Amino acid sequence: MNRTKLLLSLAGLLFVGALALDAFSTFRQAPATQPTDSGYEFDRLPNGHLRRRYTTPAPAAATSPVDQTHTVVQPGEAPIQLVLPVTVGQPASGRAGPVELTGKLSGAYVKAGPGEAFAWFELSARSPENPQRVPVNLALVVDRSGSMEGGKLADAKRASQALVKQLKTGDRLALVHFGSDVTVAPSVEINDATRATLLKTIDAIQVNGSTHMSGGLTAAAEALRPYAKQYRVTRTILLSDGQPTDGVTSREGLFSVVGKMREAGITVSALGVGAGFDDVLMRGMAERGGGFSGFINDSAELAAIFTRELDQAASTVARDVSLTLTLPPGVSGLEVMGLPSTRTGNTVHVPLYDLTGGQSARVVAKVTLAAPSDATDLTVLDAALSYVDVTADLPAQVKLALGAKVTNDDQVVHANLDRDVRVHAIRALGTQQLHAAAEAMKSGNRSGALDLLGSARRLFGSSADALAGELADLDQTQAAYRNAQSDDDVRREVFSLKKKTMKNFGQNNTY
């Protein structure tokens, strides 16, 4: 259905429903002004009346009204079989580091005039021939606000003690715990005596007050900073079950705190446990902090998660990883699918996570361009991968340029499409719909969530053989969501679906 018609229809239904309900229900007065895209949700009061409240529905994933990329499979279209060679990035210094960058475009040709194309990049970290554990400089930041009382805090303390027991001589750990106030056990080098002291300190943690998350993060940065130059890997692990209520409380404000920590060489992982945490906030902090995120329903899983986080930190081969995409003349727009990015002039910066040997990351971007009709070739994107080689303790950079030939013939464009990049693009487009569906689930918009899941299924179904796994996961999600009997069931499906979207977008930094 046309999106505008769908929104108008929904608005009409909501208006008629509100008129009918006003005749016999008690409502809270609407604010004097409200966003034009607001919707209604209803709460049932103890007396049986309904109370109307205003909500802003999750936005549908952005889609182009006309497919100019030849990505979406058309009815009756013959399958694309061509596989173009990948372009391999070259080290800027001539010295090969542990991370390889490869990429290619959705086709060998672009249409003259206004158009679009997809670009795919893969970052792959090679496993060292003689892998060695890297000593780590860690800060563990634990939420002890009132909502952690009971099993969650007990499990957090048990997991923290398990982490301390696994640290090796030469590692460092600072322990920070926060409620309304922030308490810091300063960074110490691990030995038998400091290990015993840390275990006792963790055991004594008690719940207290509200959630001063920014204070906990800032204290961790201050505890880590004096030793950051001595250690090749410095990391903060944040554990929280709630939403920040003291200090800096906005998402953007906390993203800024984490961004400054990363600029100082401190990786940040953010683990949310229980039902009440802000998953967008926790995921966003991990994305901007270069670390891992986790949506943990059962706090008993924390010990295993902490073990994996320690293993990840100690086996890091590349940190402070980022991809910079430069738009040449003729290229005007770039949408990085599913990842945060910032644009300055003609440059788009994409922060990525620390990599261990054997780990990878995928980046898919939609490019808007205007190819000159008199051109033969067009450079579409220049890419530069930057990171710190942990083993050599040196900065490294890999550069790669993607280009295509220009034609006025649509058939030539279609005949030279790449099968694999087309699948990556369709997966990314469908996953945008999945992400929007998860937000609709979270806001209680059941029909909208099911519509978005159906839209994702149609996209995945256009490449059913290649995306069989994604289709199976989606069918499982649809069935579980339809059968959800409680808010907890829905919340569980939201978190599960968001994990699937991260995997589908090519990110391997979630638990």
Do 252 and 281 share a domain, yes or no? Answer: yes
Q: Cβ neighbours of residue 309 under 8 Å, at least 6 residues apart?
A: 163, 235, 237, 269, 271, 292, 511
42: in domain: no
**CATH code of 104's domain:** 2.60.40.3670
Do 167 and 305 share a domain, yes or no? Answer: yes
Specify the pLDDT at position 94: 77
224-280: pLDDT as tens digits: 999 999 999 999 999 998 789 999 999 999 999 999 999 999 999 999 988 778 899
| Domain finish residue from 417, 433, 452 | 417
35: in domain: no
Specify the pLDDT at position 69: 64
Do 106 and 141 share a domain, yes or no? Answer: no
Do 186 and 140 share a domain, yes or no? Answer: yes
386: in domain: yes
| Domain finish residue from 365, 392, 417 | 417
| Domain finish residue from 399, 417, 435 | 417
Do 146 and 227 share a domain, yes or no? Answer: yes
**CATH code of 307's domain:** 3.40.50.410
82: in domain: no
Do 114 and 160 share a domain, yes or no? Answer: no
- Spatial distance between the Cα atoms of 383 and 245, rounded to a whole number of angstroms: 40
479 by Cβ neighbours in 10 Å (0-12 / 13-18 / 19+) ranks as exposed
- Spatial distance between the Cα atoms of 382 and 347, rounded to a whole number of angstroms: 9
Residue type, 149: E
Cα-based distances in Å from 85 to 69, 327, 415, 419: 19, 22, 15, 11
- Looking at the 3D structure of the chain, how many domains does it have? 3
259-268 exposure pattern, b = at least 16 Cβ within 10 A, e = fewer: bebbeebbbb
Do 380 and 451 share a domain, yes or no? Answer: no
Do 158 and 188 share a domain, yes or no? Answer: yes
Show the domain range for 458.
Answer: 419-511
Spans of the chain, pLDDT less than 50: 1-65
Do 160 and 280 share a domain, yes or no? Answer: yes
Residue 110: CA count within 13 A, CB half-sphere: 31
- Residues 478, 450: contact at Cβ < 8 Å? yes
Tokens of 450: 């099911």
